[in-house]
Amino acid sequence: MTTRADSKRRIVLPTAQPGDVFDINDDGNGRFTIIRLTPPAPKSKLTQEQCLKAIAAAPLQQKMNWVELRKLTREL
């Protein structure tokens, strides 16, 4: 099968689906290798219980105190 590039240098792959990702390698001799990449499986979402445990284990804390913050943000 042959195909022709359009004015925007695109070609159509008959088995490609919207959202597919491909790796295109040019060997320098006018030959290209196109490899379809398989996306990683999506991570499972945390349950509410797991989320609450994570928040309790690592609460958000400021990296500087208010005095240091005032010195950086106020003109004296």
What does the pLDDT look like over 14-38, one tens digit per residue? Answer: 889 998 999 999 988 989 999 999 9
Residue with the bigger pLDDT between 11 and 1: it is 11
Q: Read off the pTM.
A: 0.47
Give dist(CA 3, CA 49) in Å, integer. 54
**7 pLDDT tier (thresholds 50, 70, 90):** very high
Structure tokens that stand for 30 in this block = 């006018």
Tell which residue, 52, 53, 70, 54, has the closest CA to residue 62: 70
Q: CA end-to-end span of the chain, whole Å?
A: 74
In this model, does residue 76 exceed pLDDT 60? no
The Cβ of residue 54 has, within 10 Å, a number of other Cβ atoms equal to: 10
The set of residues, in sequence order, having a beta carbon less than 8 Å from that of 4 and lying 6+ positions away, is 11
Are 36 and 24 a contacting pair, CB within 8 Å?
A: no
